[in-house]
Structure formats: C-alpha cells, structure tokens
Amino acid sequence: MFRVVFALGSVAALAACASGGDTFSRSSSPGGQQFAAGPSVISAPPMVSGPAGCAGPIGEYISVVNRDSETGSLSPSVFNRVSEDLDAVRKTCASNREKEALTQLASVKRKYGYR
C-alpha cells in the first residue's frame, strides 16, 4: 500500500514539475491535472508559489473553484471574476507575505460565498 501511495505521489510531483507547475486557468471550463489510478482518477491540486502556509490553502481553494466550475455549479463569468481576485492573492503569497495572502484569501472566499 505504501508503495502505491508513494508512486502516485512521485508521479504527481514529477508531472507538476514538467507542466510548469500552474494548472489554474481562466477558461470557462478549467481542468486540473489528472492521473489515472486504477479505475478512478485523481486530480492534483494546482501548484502555487510561496510559503506552504499560504500556498497550500490557495491551491485547495483553486481546486474547489475549478471543481465547481467543471460541474456547472459556478458560472464562467463568476469563475473569471474569482480568477482575477485570486491573482492578487497568489502574487502576495509568492512575495512571501503569508499572513497578508491568507487575509486576502479569506476575503475572496467571503465575497463569493465560500468559507
């Protein structure tokens, strides 16, 4: 079991490096990276630059927004607005301003009805 988990993690890490890291897009139907894992498919969270304390939560939120857009729960116009708002959050995190990035992320979540 450990080998399977390790192998999947290694594949995900290598694929993220090879893809340039960022899977967040502004298209009306964004898609994250997907890796086959037997009968099911695993989506890898997008890579966000900066300290893990802000990069992780931002990546998780981007995954949620992407999923909501893919399922039609989030309209393309709202997705585009969220994407624009998240650009500033991502830049703040990439500038190693973790606390400020988390505050901005909380604001974006409130603005669009996420917790």
Residue, of 96 and 4, whose pLDDT is higher? 96
- List the domain range (segments joined by +) for residue 103: 2-111
Q: How many angstroms separate the CA atoms of 89 and 111, rounded?
A: 14
pLDDT of residue 34: 41
Quick check: helix, strand or coil at residue 41? strand
- Note if the pTM is more than 0.75: no
What's the full length of the chain, in residues?
115
> Under 8 Å CB-to-CB from 35, ≥6 apart: which residues?
8, 11, 12, 15, 41, 42, 44
At 58-114, the pLDDT tens digits run: 999 999 999 999 999 999 999 999 999 999 999 999 999 999 999 999 999 999 999
Contact indicator for 18, 31 with CB cutoff of 8 Å: no
In the chain, the number of structural domains is: 1
Please tell me the distance from the alpha carbon of residue 80 to that of residue 24, in angstroms, as a whole number.
11
Report pLDDT digits (tens) over 15-68: 444 444 444 444 443 444 443 333 334 455 678 999 999 999 999 999 999 999
Listing DSSP states for 83-102 in one string gives HHHHHHHHHHHHTT-HHHHH
The predicted pLDDT at position 47 comes to: 83
Residue 42 DSSP SS3 = strand
Please tell me the predicted confidence (pLDDT) of residue 115: 78
- Report in angstroms the alpha-carbon separations of 90 from 27, 55, 87, 105: 18, 8, 5, 9
